[in-house]
Structure 1
Amino acid sequence: MNQGIKLESEHNLGPLTVNEAGEKFLFNLNRHSFDRVRAVALFDARFGEKLFNENTLHIIIGTDSGLLLRYVQSKSLPNGARYIFIEPESVLQVLQEYELLGDQNERIACIRPQDWAKAIRDFKIADYLYINAVSSFNAICAQDDFINEYAELSWDIVETLSQLHWENNTAIGQEAFIDRQIKNVADNRLPAKLLQNAFRGQTVVLLAGGPSLNDALPWVKLHRRKFVVFAVSRISRHLLAEGIEPDFIFSVDPQDISFDIGKEMFNFGPRTVFIYSYHAVSTLVSQWAGLMFYLGSRLPWDSESNVANLSGAGPTVTNTALNVAYDLGFNRVILAGVDLCYTRDGFTHAKGSNEQLAGPKLNLTSLQVETNGGFLAPTGNDYFQAIKSLGVQAKKLNAAGAKVINGSPGAARIDGVVYIPLDDIQLEETYVDAATVVATKVNGLTDVDHYLKVVLTELRRAEFQIQAIGRLAQQARRINDAMYGISGVLENYKDKKQLDRIEKKFKREHRGFAKLVKRFGIRQFMKAVKPFSDQDWTAEEAKKLGDIYYESYQEGAKKLLQLIEDAIQRVIARQQENAAVPDFDMLFEQWNNDKSFGRARLWRAKHQFVAIPQKNIAILDEFEAKFLDVLGQRDTRHIAIIKKRSNLAIVRQRASLLFKHKKTEGLRDLLASLDKHAQQDAAIPYRYLIDGYLAELENNPDQSLDAYHQIIKGGDVLLEEALIRIAFIGIENDDAGNVGLALQCLSQLNPVYLPFYAEVQRLKGDLFDAVDTYSDYINQFPSDTLVQLKLAMLYMECKVHDSAEMMLDFILQQKPDHEVAIAMKRQLSLRVDN
């Protein structure tokens, strides 16, 4: 039987089939996707306009048997759009043989994975990354992945694109940072530089959210009074549960989601000091009750208000905290929970975190790092970059005479960081009261009103400058339109001189703020100054380019002006908070607009003896209740996002890849992940699948068959995968009975297996049953010549010569030059004559 059936090599892509619309596709790539609806209609509905954005590089995994590729080819391609389709080499070869890839187009490439580097270089991916215009998604065949080839390819491409974003895009995308910086200006009062060298010669323990934090916290509690504690905001819930209050809490991310994961920090007492980047999410900054110090520049333009300060190095909050530890003078930094990799069973964060509550991360990629314990652990691109930058920082501390220690064997090994188990670290017996040290540094710096007055003056200066830039841009746009005649030809060269004068004003009179407008709208400017067309511009295109350029100034100025006007109003509201008789209506409106409900509690704490009208007391109560409600919400956007990583559907693909590459340790780690999955009942068939794979790799066919039969008993989930493996094992062990039963069931699930079932019937001597099975298949796939030839041969073997002749005639009618069919018909004639 081993000789007769090659299930693995032949079943993968299936036959070429045609739907009612005449669209050809490989059956096992797309199965029934195009049975009831034409491919064009399905693509329109599934992908719509996102496939046809201008100035975008589209990366698409799979071509849906060439149908999606030809769908794109049939359209008028948008200006500046390019397309890279990626297919596994085995699929691409068959698509080329069947001529399913359509006509060549210089802006569309269909490549093998090994051609990736050349393709992205030829298609200028760096330029597209620069304007945040790389779009990637899976074709329908890659989403379904019936052939177990696309999941690995898709994960690899996503990982690679993420890496490229880090490398090409870190300096771009300033809008969010400037947005937060301007929103935070009312609160960016105390620069962290005030604390420089305040802890010279001391030890600090830096707590982050990696899985090893669970093991480190008992040691931290035991020795709490022997060191200063830094903590990232995301572990606040965990620290509160353990009764640990950090001396300093850190946050740097501008995204709203960082509030969701760090909001429990508001439950710490007044001794905890908040150190944050100038661009940290505003809802954390504006509602903090205790002392807080900002990192970086106070304002995003040149100003005397931008006092010397410490910088917040990224890319992660841990990098920032380590940088601050260096600047504050600590000579020993002990890292705990700074793993920068995942556990082998897929957990990315410590107990109590949203990530841990959502379950293990099942869509791990192939990126791995060496740990302090000497084994490899999976990681992600952001962590991988952080490892590099942390190594640079650690060497900087080493050069200054400081030492960086990591106490976890499961943490990533980092250059410049020494691994010492926590229990082996020698600690001083002296206690440093961080709150007292900080208090001495801020004595005499309590004049908030003076700060607000100064910063309000700065904001109004910026408002004036941005308004002037907006007016100039509007004037330039009118001049640019007037330079060109009705025919689109440049006519008025005097207007060109006016534009030159406006450009000089941008560069001289408004130099700093014009740069800020450009930084704020950098991506829009990139579309104007870095076009993707390789052709020379026509006058009409030059006019359009000028329009885009000055529109970018107008839009950038408009958005920036709105932020500055909002910031002015926010500063005025802060001044009202300090007034003897505040304008409560203004305060309530501002707090509501900023979603800073917690400021009601801050105001009350500072104004305990102020007489408040009864109606305002009720509103203050309402704001405090809203604040507490927000803190208590657990079903946040963040938890919804990370739950997707634990979707059990991912297990089939990942287990199949690990089995394919004979990664027994990876399979055992995946099995351990399922032990901790929230949906234990739903995970049962996936456990049996992995058990079966492991048994096969360990040459235990009986045990693997037991596991696969448990899947069959359980229902429909993973049924096809189990039957395929049973058939394989049967073929390997010449077990015709099991092979026949498995293929019979498979052919009922998927008609692509009918030829294999027919072959088993033929080998068992059930020739006429085999004829019926082949005929059933050909009725569904009338264009599969190979199976038609096999049926003709079977008719000849059964000596049903008339049927054999009819089958061969049918083949030759479709393909008159088919050499095998011609030879078989000649052989059939000789048999009949004899």
Structure 2
Amino acid sequence: MTTAERSSTTTPDYRGSLTSSREWLQTQQGDWILPSINARHFGAQQGATPETGDKRSKSHAQLVLAEHFGDRLHQEDRLYVIIGSDSGQLLRYIREHAPMPRGSRWLIIEPEDILQTLRQNPAISALCDDFVQLVGFNEWQEQAALLQLPAYFRIDGVRLERSLGALDGTDPQYIELTAHLDAHLTAERFRKTAELNLAPFIEPNILSAPNFHGGIDRFKNLFAGQRAVIIAGGPSLDDQIDWLLEHRDTLFIIAVSRVSGRLQDVGITPDIVVTVDPFPISLTVSRQMFDFPEQTVLMASSHPYPRITNRWPHSLFCTGPLVPWPDDSVNDRDALSSAGPTVTHMAAQLAGYMGFREVIFCGLDLCHTPDGRTHAAGSSEASAGPIMEFSALPVVTNSGESAWTTPDYFAGIQAMSEIAEQSNTVRFINPSTNAAVIDGIEHVPLDRIAVPTTAFDRDPLDRMRQDTDNEARKRHLNALAESLETIENDLGKVANLAQLGLESNQAYFNLTHPDRQKRHKRRMQAIDRLFEGRFRRAARLAQQAAKRAIMRTALPHDFFALDRHQAESLASQYYDAIREQARRLTGTIALARERVATRLLEHDQNASADEIARRYVEHDEPERVRWLEANRATVASSAIEQAQSSYATLIDGLLEKDRQRNWEKRSPRASLRQIERLFSSRKAEGLRSLAESLDRHQDAETARPYAHYAHGLKHELDGELPEAAEQHARVIDQVDTQHDIVLLEHALLRLTHINLEANDPATALTVLQTAASINPGHWRLVARLALLENDAETGITALTRHLEQFPGDVERVKQMVRLFVALEIPDGVPFCEQYLPYCAPAARLELEAFLKDARNALESPGESS
């Protein structure tokens, strides 16, 4: 009886034919891999001739990894958190870099089943030690703590990377791992970096200082016992805008700056606008805010984007210290520190500080709508369409449904809950049904919120705003000028002392004059005392700005394991970081002093608008011309026109960057992970919405096959297999095989599955063969399916193609030998002998015996049945 005849006596298990196990196979070029994860990445070129013995080429897997990662995994002072090990090849790639970068660690995380397979391989276990660790999901946090994760966060040294297998989503577990780790690390990064007054925040603090009218003290309990509405930029605002319009006069409104354009479109003027972030994107998304009337007050963090505070033409106050060093003459006693990743968090803290007993949020969602929207209409994000690429985390909404959110929003949910807990005298309400559930915030629909019938009395805010007259403003600016001058002088001395420390450290370690070592040591000790004493303010400022560079000299190194040269280098880095930051800050403060002089000139009625505008251009604040237009009688002049033109050019450049940023997050090719995430969680409505978004995508040609794929998966969830097959067939017809090869492979596999479900194994076999031409890991599945269909010829061809890629696969060699024996093909056994050199020694002996038995069976055909 032949093998084909034997198989016909049992019912074919088509579903099992597509199951791929975790087994080690050696590629043609000698790399041991798990084909279910990395066959497509590390398989040899199609049709290549197997090499044997010492003639094997350099590891193909290592070449592929080198081309993808370059030196990205070998920077100093990094903790690399890597999802997936690419069959352990990534461990080898990390190890083969010599010497290993100083101060770096690698934490590679695998799903539990893959981890156990890897740990059973002694060669992979040998690649792990205290610096390079391979762990599972259940132990990664403990190991990350041992590898000093918080310390690496403080030096901005944590990097999240994905292996090739994780990038392709070859196993759904990688998608879940990515989402979890991205969320955890994003939240932890915010908490750790929020503790540091880092360089990107110090410069905006200094450059915004000349614009502030004062600090936050005067706002304390300004509206004790009242109710406020905070308007955020989430998509639920679209459903709440009519309610806000209807009751505007009875509400006190605090709005985040990014909704300014939308509010102006519908005729809503907020009482307070809030801005926080020090990055240019803040100006891009909030550029319409400067058209609000003078009764709108701007509240900013200590470190807003300076061009926003430069351009604001009305009252402007700061929620934190006006300057980033202790100075009672300019800084208020109280300060609010941002407790969350969005401006809405600062608005919530501000409302509590102002004494409001009830706060209603509008537009606070912190999750995506079913069709993938993250922002309200009128925003650049809404205009660009739903985000396609993000690490998704499931959250429960106020309606009880589930929704996706991103890691930064997930951190925002936790932070908002903490704010609600700390503000225990404030009742927070979120009327949005589709918003994420936040502990400490009640969900009350708008129609159940009682609204007063009388207008809100905002006189306390108006009186406070009008109290800031010209003379008070001049006194404040003069005090600020004196503070800036003092700190500038001290910073110059700190830079000189750091230079002296650098020279003394080099002399101490060079041993040029050993008898002078004590003198150099005493000099460095004296410098440190001056840093802690006479120049403490300036030294602390420079150290804060250089904090990450300084921390690299202390953590996570073992100082006692350093040689003399390394110890000298670390100390030199310490002094050099302080020197460079002191010099850089001196330039920033000099610019701030010039801007203070300009502000004083603004209050001099004898100074002409043209003269002031010239200073705007000279000191790189052309956006300030908006203040001039709103507060001084101006006439056309070349200086004013130049300032206006410079600002227009600036904002056009920022808008183009914003469009590019939105485009990158919404590229159709980035949607594949989200499409399959929705399918695996059986969210048919989400798939429909995403498919329709792709149908409308502006890059229609690229988006079309992804839309068909999403429609096809939606039909599969609905049990409409013919319609699903039609959609997947369109993917195959329309896909760009050069750039969308993963989509093509996935569509072919889905079509294979549909044909098996429809009891059409012949078509399924043809489709699966096409998938195998893309990913050689599927050839053994083709062979299995062909043999279930009694197609021995196709089975042999598939096994041959598989063994071209994985010549050391002993089980598949045996399977082919059995076929040759069953079909009585005597040349088959000698053909299979070519694979012997690729087998491990123990397996080779076993295979040799098996081949000998096969030859004997062919010589005695009567015994083969």
| Superposition TM-score, scaled by structure 1 size | 0.89
Farther-moved stretch of structure 1 (800-809 vs 466-475): 800-809
Deviation at 1:667, TM superposition (A): 4.2
Paired with 2:192 and 2:629, the residues of 1 have a C-alpha distance of: 47
Are 2:209 and 1:209 aligned?
A: no
3-state SS of paired residue (1:136): strand
Q: Map 1:107-506; keep pairs closer than 5 Å.
A: 107-146=131-170, 150-303=174-327, 304-309=329-334, 311=336, 313-315=338-340, 316-395=342-421, 399=425, 402-432=426-456, 434=458, 437-439=461-463, 441-443=465-467, 445-447=469-471, 448-486=473-511, 492-506=517-531
Does the 8 A contact of 1:7 with 1:728 survive in 2?
no
Instruction: In structure 1, give the amino acid aligned to 2:481.
Output: L
Indicate the residue corresponding to 2:27 in structure 1.
Answer: 17
Does the 8 A contact of 2:755 with 2:763 survive in 1?
yes
Instruction: In structure 1, give the amino acid aligned to 2:725.
Output: L
Does the 8 A contact of 1:16 with 1:781 survive in 2?
yes
Residue number among 6, 16, 40 corresponding to 1:6 in the alignment: 16
Paired with 2:791 and 2:332, the residues of 1 have a C-alpha distance of: 90
Are 2:96 and 1:74 aligned?
A: yes
Does the 8 A contact of 2:41 with 2:164 survive in 1?
no
Does the 8 A contact of 2:17 with 2:784 survive in 1?
no
Q: Which string of whole-angstrom CA distances, capped at 9 and with x for unpartnered residues, describes residues 485-521 of structure 1?
A: 4489896223323322222222221223322222221
Indicate the residue corresponding to 2:53 in structure 1.
Answer: none
Deviation at 1:143, TM superposition (A): 3.2
Indicate the residue corresponding to 2:543 in structure 1.
Answer: 518
3-state SS of paired residue (1:132): coil
Distance 1:259 1:14, change over 3 A: farther
Distance 1:804 1:5, change over 3 A: farther
Paired with 2:374 and 2:727, the residues of 1 have a C-alpha distance of: 30
3-state SS of paired residue (2:253): strand
Distance 1:395 1:128, change over 3 A: closer
3-state SS of paired residue (1:51): coil
Distance 1:582 1:50, change over 3 A: farther
Does the 8 A contact of 1:188 with 1:278 survive in 2?
no
Paired with 1:185 and 1:602, the residues of 2 have a C-alpha distance of: 16
Does the 8 A contact of 2:215 with 2:331 survive in 1?
no
3-state SS of paired residue (1:801): coil
Farther-moved stretch of structure 1 (560-569 vs 143-152): 143-152
Deviation at 1:410, TM superposition (A): 1.7
Q: Which string of whole-angstrom CA distances, capped at 9 and with x for unpartnered residues, describes residues 242-276 of structure 1?
A: 12221211111112211111111012222222111
Are 2:113 and 1:53 aligned?
A: no
Indicate the residue corresponding to 1:822 in structure 2.
Answer: 849
Paired with 1:403 and 1:187, the residues of 2 have a C-alpha distance of: 33
Higher relative contact order structure (alpha carbons within 8 Å, sequence separation ≥ 6) = 2
3-state SS of paired residue (1:49): coil
Q: Which string of whole-angstrom CA distances, capped at 9 and with x for unpartnered residues, describes residues 156-191 of structure 1?
A: 332222122133332025222221111112112223
Residue number among 618, 622, 625 corresponding to 1:600 in the alignment: 625
Are 2:55 and 1:31 aligned?
A: no
Distance 1:496 1:128, change over 3 A: same
Deviation at 1:450, TM superposition (A): 2.5
Instruction: In structure 2, give the amino acid aligned to 1:29.
Output: N
Does the 8 A contact of 1:29 with 1:147 survive in 2?
no
Q: Which string of whole-angstrom CA distances, capped at 9 and with x for unpartnered residues, describes residues 280-333 of structure 1?
A: 111110111112222111222221222334525432322222222233333432
Indicate the residue corresponding to 2:644 in structure 1.
Answer: 624
3-state SS of paired residue (1:289): coil
Supply the RMSD in Å over aligned alpha carbons: 3.4
Paired with 2:443 and 2:161, the residues of 1 have a C-alpha distance of: 41
Paired with 2:525 and 2:31, the residues of 1 have a C-alpha distance of: 57
Does the 8 A contact of 1:14 with 1:29 survive in 2?
no
Q: Map 1:731-746; keep pairs closer than 5 Å.
A: 731-732=756-757, 734-746=759-771
Paired with 1:276 and 1:813, the residues of 2 have a C-alpha distance of: 67
Unmatched segments (≥5 aa) in structure 2: 1-10, 46-57
- Identity among equivalent pairs (%): 26
Farther-moved stretch of structure 1 (88-97 vs 219-228): 88-97
Paired with 1:16 and 1:814, the residues of 2 have a C-alpha distance of: 8
Q: Which string of whole-angstrom CA distances, capped at 9 and with x for unpartnered residues, describes residues 690-738 of structure 1?
A: 4443454555544543443443454556443233223234445543322
Does the 8 A contact of 1:473 with 1:553 survive in 2?
yes
Deviation at 1:235, TM superposition (A): 0.6
Paired with 2:355 and 2:797, the residues of 1 have a C-alpha distance of: 84
Deviation at 1:760, TM superposition (A): 4.1
3-state SS of paired residue (1:529): coil
Aligned residues: 825
Instruction: In structure 1, give the amino acid aligned to 2:26.
Output: L
Does the 8 A contact of 2:179 with 2:407 survive in 1?
no
3-state SS of paired residue (1:84): strand
Does the 8 A contact of 2:829 with 2:854 survive in 1?
no
3-state SS of paired residue (1:254): coil
Q: Which string of whole-angstrom CA distances, capped at 9 and with x for unpartnered residues, describes residues 184-234 of structure 1?
A: 121122233334443344432211101110011111111111112211100
Unmatched segments (≥5 aa) in structure 1: none
Does the 8 A contact of 1:655 with 1:670 survive in 2?
yes
Deviation at 1:430, TM superposition (A): 1.7
Distance 1:277 1:33, change over 3 A: same
Indicate the residue corresponding to 2:55 in structure 1.
Answer: none
Q: Map 1:636-651; keep pairs closer than 5 Å.
A: 636-651=656-671
| Superposition TM-score, scaled by structure 2 size | 0.86
Paired with 2:181 and 2:251, the residues of 1 have a C-alpha distance of: 44
Instruction: In structure 2, give the amino acid aligned to 1:528.
Output: T
3-state SS of paired residue (2:286): helix
Distance 1:108 1:751, change over 3 A: closer
Farther-moved stretch of structure 1 (261-270 vs 25-34): 25-34
Deviation at 1:451, TM superposition (A): 2.2
Paired with 2:807 and 2:300, the residues of 1 have a C-alpha distance of: 68
Paired with 1:812 and 1:484, the residues of 2 have a C-alpha distance of: 57
Residue number among 744, 753, 768 corresponding to 2:778 in the alignment: 753
Paired with 2:204 and 2:413, the residues of 1 have a C-alpha distance of: 27
